Amino acid sequence: MGIELISSILLLMINFILLFFLIKEKKVKKTLLKTIEENKEKIESLKIKYENKLKNEIENSKNKDKIIYQQSKLTSMKELITNLAHQWRQPLSVISVAATSLELYEKSGELKKEDLLKNCILINENAQYLSQTIENFSDMVEKRRTKKIYRIEDAMDIIQKLTATFTGMSNINLILNIKDDISIYGYKYELIQILLNILTNSKEVFEIRDIKDRYIFLDINSDEKEFTINIKDTAGGIEEKNLNKVFEPYFTTKHQEVNTGLGLYISYLIIKNNLKGKIEVSNEEFEYKNKNYKGASFFITLPRT
């Protein structure tokens, strides 16, 4: 009898405790719901505020990239026009001399058929060279975004033609080493733009530092999945503290009137976003023709498809 009473009392107490916690839980839940409801407007307001802030930041970033891209296009166009002017100077001079010679021969009555034929051939050859130069530069401007299968060796031929004048005038030896006959599917003229940016950068450093032995080595290798391009020079390298800043927009160790610092940044963006590859830079010490050199080394990795 006593045990049954105790059991009943315990059961009653347990039920009471459970009821207490249920009531308390309901009150807590009700309080929480009330608090959430009261702060719902504040939360929604904060959400809208930060969403707008995020949109503004994204828009500002896009505008900044657009400005950088436009400035890069202007810089690239300036470099293209400068190179074009350099490449035209010599053949125009030859044409002028040949035409003047014909005029003088005619006036003096000494014009011979052989001289006429020789000078006409000379004028025609140089005119053809001017036409080909225009075609190369037109390709750079108009066909940069054409994706197709192309041979790396063809791209290197265009590089050599576009840089022939400034490498010659600056006494730069461009040494190409293509291990295989590589064909890839991609944007040929974007790759050409990248290499021109790097080569132009080396040229400027050679001139600023007044380097005597001016070599640029361009080595290309490949396997089944990817191909690599290594461009290194003998210009003394990049300061260690600046190595991790090379691909930042507007970064340059040169005077602003020489370079805006956009070339390598744009090259980085093209490789990463358009060509789906990567580019790295380091300083490299090496030996060439029994002499030791140090220079910047750019290593580009691109997929073959």
Residue 69, CA distances (Å) to 63, 64, 264 in order: 10, 9, 12
Residues in the chain, pLDDT under 50: 28, 255-260
Token pair for 121: 């051939």
Superfamily of domain 148-305: Histidine kinase-like ATPase, C-terminal domain (3.30.565.10)
Whole-number Å distance between alpha carbons of 89 and 164: 13
Whole-number Å distance between alpha carbons of 34 and 181: 74
Domains in the chain: boundaries: 148-305
**Residue 156 identity (one-letter amino acid):** M
Residue 178 CB-density burial (10 A; 0-12 exposed, 13-18 middle, 19+ buried): middle
The helix/strand/coil state of 153 is helix
Whole-number Å distance between alpha carbons of 146 and 268: 19
The predicted pLDDT at position 259 comes to 44
The predicted pLDDT at position 71 comes to 61
Contact (CB, 8 A) for 68 and 262: yes
Q: What is the DSSP letter of 217?
A: E
Q: Is the dihedral of CA 150, 153, 159, 165 positive or negative?
A: negative
Who contacts 255 (Cβ-Cβ below 8 Å, separation ≥6)? Answer: none
The predicted pLDDT at position 256 comes to 41
The predicted pLDDT at position 173 comes to 94
The predicted pLDDT at position 28 comes to 47
For the chain, the straight-line distance linking the first and the last C-alpha, in angstroms and rounded, comes to 90
